[in-house]
């Protein structure tokens, strides 16, 4: 799930969402050469267990293929259990709190004791912090990490169409906030399971993209489908595989997704997948909802 207040890529807005049990009816997808077949009436009771294949023509398990002209990055594959981690289990996930860019003056009560806060610069520090007037706890604000997977299968990329705000109806890589108690890779696997009902293996890190303006860091992994099964989770209206020249760049949800996919396409075209670090900054004077109104700064690549 990805529900940040994404200044760069979508409209403003606070979204509070409680994860729902996996009881929705999913639409299975069978991938065939060149086309997608959207099959219905396959009930997805537990995405961890994939789907009933009685009504679908799912292909045999295969491994994702890498473009023949592309040299895979030199990272060891990381196999992680797709079992849920932490106390949330598979049936719940974070109710994502919107991460602001950091404004201590908006914190009026202590999260520890509920006491009122004052807003001052603590001794030895430089920034104004919200300080509890009762227990003196300082409310430090730190960036949130968003984790996700870029999955290539049959030379196509798995994207999800968002069924929630913000960026309803736009396409995204499966991604969402990292949870306490899980690693970034585990979080990326979990988010992919939740949004695309897909069981994936993380292969390597692909990009770390910082967005200082809104206090977020994206960590996107390359991954592969363990089985060729995926379908929309509760927060996705569709999932699909897109050839590189079919990626809907004009309908992507967030600047982070635009950057990630552009870098990936460039790497594939150049025949070498790299690891990228960069900072996404909004171009001054541009619309907050324009996911293309960014600059990629401090771009480092392996």
**Contact positions vs Zn ion (CB under 5 A):** 110, 112-113, 115, 132, 134-135, 137
Rg of the chain (C-alpha set): 20
Calculate the dihedral angle through the C-alpha atoms of 92, 169, 279, 1, rounding to the nearest 10 degrees: 0
SS3 call for 295: strand
Instruction: Give bridge partners of residue 239 from the DSSP assignment.
Output: 160
Cβ closest to Zn ion, residue 137 vs residue 299: 137
Rounded to a whole number of angstroms, the minimum distance from the CB of residue 131 to Zn ion is 9
Residues 6 or more apart whose CB falls under 8 angstroms from that of 104 comprise 119, 127, 128, 129, 130, 139, 141
Query: CA 92, CA 81: separation in Å to the nearest integer?
Result: 17
51-54: Cβ within 8 A, 24+ apart: 51/26, 51/197, 51/229, 51/231, 53/28
Comparison of 66 and 109: residue with beta carbon closer to Zn ion = 109
Q: Smaller CB distance to Zn ion: residue 136 or 246?
A: 136
Q: Which is nearer to Zn ion, 83 or 134 (CB)?
A: 134
Least distance from Zn ion to the Cβ atom of residue 21, Å:
35
- Shortest Å, Cβ 129 to Zn ion: 13
Token pair in block for residue 5: 């207040």
Nearer to Zn ion, 138 or 296 (CB): 138
Query: At closest approach, how far in Å is the CB of 271 from Zn ion?
Result: 56
The minimum distance between CB 229 and Zn ion, in angstroms, equals 48
Name the minimum Å distance from CB 137 to Zn ion.
Answer: 5
Nearest distance, CB of residue 142 and Zn ion, angstroms = 18
Distances (CA, A) of 279 to 28, 167, 259, 302: 36, 21, 10, 16
> What is the bridge-based pairing of β-strands 35-43 and 129-132?
unpaired
Question: Which CB sits closer to Zn ion, 110 or 170?
Answer: 110
Say how far apart CA 200 and CA 226 lie, in whole Å: 5
- Name which of 61 and 134 has its Cβ closer to Zn ion: 134
d(CA 237, CA 161): 6
């Amino acid at each position: 799930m990805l529900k940040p207040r994404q200044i760069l890529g979508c409209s403003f807005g606070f979204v509070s969402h409680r994860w729902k049990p996996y009881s929705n009816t999913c639409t299975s997808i069978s991938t065939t050469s060149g086309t997608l077949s959207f099959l219905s009436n396959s009930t997805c009771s537990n995405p961890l267990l994939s789907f009933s294949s009685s009504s679908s023509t799912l292909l045999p398990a295969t491994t994702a293929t890498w473009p023949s002209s592309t040299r895979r990055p030199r990272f060891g594959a990381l196999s992680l259990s797709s079992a849920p981690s932490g106390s949330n289990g598979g049936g719940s996930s974070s109710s994502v709190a919107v991460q602001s860019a950091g404004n201590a003056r908006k914190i009026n009560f202590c999260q520890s004791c509920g006491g009122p806060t004052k807003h001052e610069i603590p001794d030895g520090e430089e920034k104004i912090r919200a300080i509890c007037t009762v227990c003196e706890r300082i409310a430090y604000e730190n960036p949130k990490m968003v984790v996700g997977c870029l999955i290539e299968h049959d030379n196509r990329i798995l994207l999800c169409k968002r069924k929630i705000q913000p960026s309803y109806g736009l396409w995204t890589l499966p991604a969402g906030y990292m949870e306490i108690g899980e690693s970034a890779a585990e979080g990326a696997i979990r988010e992919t399971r939740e949004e695309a009902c897909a069981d994936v293996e993380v292969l390597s890190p692909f990009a770390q993209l910082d967005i200082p303006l809104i206090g977020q860091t994206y960590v996107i992994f390359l991954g592969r489908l363990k089985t060729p099964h995926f379908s929309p989770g509760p927060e996705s209206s569709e999932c699909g595989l897109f050839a590189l020249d079919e990626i809907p760049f004009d309908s992507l949800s967030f600047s982070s997704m635009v950057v990630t996919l552009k870098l990936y396409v460039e790497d594939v075209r150049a025949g070498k997948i790299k690891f990228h670090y960069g900072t996404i900054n909004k171009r001054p004077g541009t619309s907050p909802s324009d996911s293309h109104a960014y600059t990629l700064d401090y771009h480092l690549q392996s």
